[in-house]
Amino acid sequence: MDRFLLVLAVVAGSVLLLTGILHTLRHLGPVGRALASRCAHAPGLDLIIILFQIAPIVLGAIYAGWLGVAAAIPGQILGYFFWSWLHELANRKALKGPRIVSKLNQILGGGLKGALRNHLAVWATALALPCFLILRAAQIFVYPLLVWLLDFPRYPPSEWIRVSRHKFDGLVGHDLAWCLYCDWMTGVYSLGAEMLRNVESFWCPIRFDSEKKCANCVRDFPDVDGGWVPASAGMPEVVRKLEEKYGDGRREWFAHPARLTVHGKTPDSTSKDEPAESNGVDPK
C-alpha cells in the first residue's frame, strides 16, 4: 500500500508541476514564449503527451509493476482535478460567465442529474485515448516506411497535430482541459484519415459492394465516388486505374488537391510569380 500511495502522490504532483511549467513559459520572455509555441504542436506536443499520459504509467509499472499502473492512473486523474480547481480559482471572473460545462449540464437535464450525465459521458471518451495514442504512433513509425518505400506524400505534422484552444478567452479548468483533448484528438484523427486515403486508393481502388457503405465512407474517402472502379468491374479495370493514377509518379489519393497542380502551379494560374496554394504536402 505504501508503494501504491507513493506512486499516486508522485504522479499527481508531477501533473501539477508540468502544468505549472507550461503555464509559466509564456511569462518568461521571448525564449519562454518560443518554447511554449513549440510545445503546442508536433513534435513538441508529442513529448508533452508522453510526459502527461504515457510516462507516469510506464514509470509506475517499472517501479511497482501492476500496482504502479493501478496507482498512476488515479494519480493522473487526481492531478487533473487539483489543476482544474486551481485554474478555476485563478480565473474566478470567467466562472461567473457562460461556460460549456454549465450549459451542457443544463441541456442534459440540469441539476445533479445533468451534471452526472455530462461528466460521466465526457470521462467515457477518455477510454478512447489509447486508440488515439496508437494511431499517433502509427503516423510516426509506420507511415514513414510508406514514404520511403512507395514515395507516398509527406505531411508536416505541425499542420495537423497542434493545439490552440488554450488561447480562447473564457475556457478555464474543466472546459479548457477537455477542449484541448478534443483539439489534439481531431488533429490525430484527421492526419490518420489523410494517410489512410493514400493507402486505400493505392492498394485497393475498388468501390464497396454495399452502396450504403459507399455513401457512409465517401466523406472520409472521396475516391469512393472519385475514381475507384465499380465493384462489378474486373481486374483489368483495376490495373488500368492504377496505371492512370500512378503511372506518372504521383502517389496522393486521386482527388487530393496536389493533383490539381501542374509543376507546383494551379491550372488557372496566370502569373508565373504567383505561388501555388499550400496543400499540406511536403514537396519531394
Answer yes or no: is pLDDT of 146 > 80. Answer: yes
Q: What is the mean pLDDT of residues 267-271?
A: 41
Where are the chain's structural domains? 1-90, 128-269+279-284
- Position 127 scores a pLDDT of 94
Q: What is the mean pLDDT of residues 55-73?
A: 95
Q: What is the mean pLDDT of the chain?
A: 90
Place of cell 507511415: 143
- Position 282 scores a pLDDT of 62
- Is there a contact between 87 and 16 (Cβ–Cβ < 8 Å)? no
For residue 226, name the pLDDT band (cuts at 50, 70, 90): confident
Taking alpha carbons only, the member of 199, 217, 198 closest to residue 207 is: 217
- Percentage of the chain lying above the pLDDT 70 cut: 91
For residue 96, name the pLDDT band (cuts at 50, 70, 90): confident
- Position 108 scores a pLDDT of 94
Answer yes or no: is pLDDT of 265 > 50. Answer: no
For residue 283, name the pLDDT band (cuts at 50, 70, 90): very low
Residues 6+ apart with CB under 8 A from 31: none
b/e per residue, 172-199, with b = 16+ CB within 10 A?
Answer: bbbbbbbbbbebbbebbbebbebbbbbe
The pTM assigned to this predicted structure is: 0.86
- Is there a contact between 135 and 184 (Cβ–Cβ < 8 Å)? no
pLDDT in tens, 163-215: 999 999 889 999 999 999 999 999 999 999 999 999 999 999 999 999 999 99
Q: Which grid coordinates belong to 192?
A: 490518420
* Out of 55-64, 86-95, 274-283, least confident range: 274-283
- Percentage of the chain lying above the pLDDT 90 cut: 81
- Position 280 scores a pLDDT of 61
Q: What is the mean pLDDT of residues 152-156?
A: 94
Answer yes or no: is pLDDT of 99 > 70. Answer: yes
Q: What is the mean pLDDT of residues 114-142?
A: 96
pLDDT in tens, 104-114: 999 999 999 99
- Position 259 scores a pLDDT of 82
Answer yes or no: is pLDDT of 251 > 70. Answer: yes
Answer yes or no: is pLDDT of 281 > 80. Answer: no
- Position 97 scores a pLDDT of 83
Q: Which grid coordinates belong to 50?
A: 508522453
